[in-house]
Amino acid sequence: MIFTNPMALYLLPLAILPLLLSVQRQEGYPSLSGFEADRTSQVIALALRIAGTLAMLGLILGIAGLSLRERTIDRFGQGAHIVLLIDRSSSMDDTFAGRPPSGGQESKSAAAKRLLKDFVTERAHDRFGVAAFSTSPIHVLPITDHKKLILGAIDAIDRPGLAFTDVGRGLAMALDMTQEDISQASRAIVLVSDGAAVIARRVQESLRAEFARQPVHLYWLYLRTQGTNGIFEPPPPGVDDIPQVLPERHLNMFLQGLHVPYRAFEAESPEAVKAAITEIGKLEQTPIVYSERVPQYDLSRWAYSLAALGMGVLLAAKFFERSVTPKRGDAHAA
């Protein structure tokens, strides 16, 4: 518990004044010896003194800015820590039909953005990081549980992309981001891309070594443009089965050879993308312990409410207060 204006606490001794001084109108009597003790009146008198003390205490604590300190709470849930690795090449700006969007059509990047935001919003216990790649990898957001930051990072993926697809260095960056996460939670990388490029042999060797050192679950959500080659299909006769001709197929084969838990999904429509994301969500349901940061909470409103309640009691007492001595006009009338 903290106080944002602690100097006001010097006023706290004033809160005992209602206990020392009567809050009722004083009237003189020749003698009280003839009266029996009135328990009800004694209880009411004590309650009014306490109400006065609470009113002053509430005002002083409210002025002092009574607050709960920011804290971290450990919680348990089901989920994973996931890095979203998103392709920002210019082909993502086209629709699944391979044309610029027109009318009510969505580009692949817009559909991915919309569905990934739904995925992040629905996953209450997951933490997410965001990376992108085109000509170079881009570290967008480290793994965090700040949903607003994550959604903002995903919002940025439908900006106009660049021409190249350096998926190899993008994967290396995503893997680095999972290694920066020191928790014991399950880790996953979700690659969202509509294509691939040839990964240099040196980068391939580096990726194999890094995935072997710290394996993570790996998913590739392949946003396939209609009419293009699939990643599971063997090449038709007469087509060379080499990375330069069929880069997506060979990227899938390379990822399969990393010896980590891996799934690839081909999606040719927003509905297929949603189904793939739902399946990934079902697979990533490992029990995790996560920390929730609770921000500082202002309690001054409750302190002022306590003061208002105390003052309300005192005002009610004053309203119902009656004198035991007759007023001057009443005496003349008698």
Per-residue pLDDT in tens (0 to 9) along the chain, 334 residues: 888 888 989 998 888 888 887 766 676 766 767 677 778 888 988 899 999 999 999 999 999 999 998 888 887 878 889 999 998 887 888 888 878 877 777 888 888 888 899 999 988 888 899 998 888 888 899 988 888 899 998 887 766 656 677 888 889 999 999 888 777 788 899 999 887 778 888 889 999 999 898 879 999 999 888 878 788 888 888 878 888 888 888 999 999 999 899 999 998 888 888 999 899 988 888 887 777 778 889 999 999 999 999 999 999 988 887 776 665 555 454 4
**Residue type for 98, please?**
G
Closest of 108, 118, 103, 11 to residue 62, by C-alpha: 11
Q: Can you point out the beta strands (E) in 247-321?
A: 262-267, 286-294, 297-298
On whether the CB atoms of residues 152 and 117 are closer than 8 A, the answer is no
Backbone angles phi, psi at 4, to 5 degrees: -80, -20
Q: Identify the pLDDT of residue 233.
A: 81
pLDDT score of 36: 74
How far apart are the C-alpha atoms of 135 and 78, rounded to whole Å? 36
Q: Distance between CA 290 and CA 21 in Å, rounded?
A: 53
Global pTM reads 0.68
Instruction: Return the CA Rg of the chain.
Output: 35
Alpha-carbon separation of residue 49 from 44, 58, 317, 321 (angstroms) = 9, 14, 11, 15
- Which of helix, strand or coil describes residue 268? coil
Q: What is the 3-state composition of the chain as percent helix, strand, coil, each rounded to the nearest 5?
A: 45, 20, 35
How far apart are the two ends of the chain, measured CA to CA in Å?
A: 62
Question: CATH classification of 74-291, choosing from 3.40.50.410, 3.40.47.10, 3.40.605.10, 2.40.50.100?
Answer: 3.40.50.410
Whether 61 and 284 have beta carbons less than 8 Å apart is answered as no
**pLDDT attached to residue 217:** 92
pLDDT of residue 326: 62
What separation in angstroms does the CA of 188 have from each of 85, 174, 203?
10, 9, 20
C-alpha pair distances (Å), 142 with each of 131, 165, 177: 8, 21, 7
CA distance to 56, 127, 128, 142, 166, per residue, from 148 (Å): 41, 12, 11, 13, 28
Give, in degrees to the nearest 5, the angle at Cα 272 between 267 and 274.
120
Interatomic CA distance for residues 194 and 112, integer angstroms: 11
Q: What is the rounded distance in angstroms from the CA atom of residue 92 to the CA atom of residue 108?
A: 5
Across 16-80, the runs of DSSP E, i.e. the strands, are 66-68, 71-79
pLDDT at 185: 80
| Domain coordinates in residue numbering, the chain | 2-21+40-70+295-320, 74-291
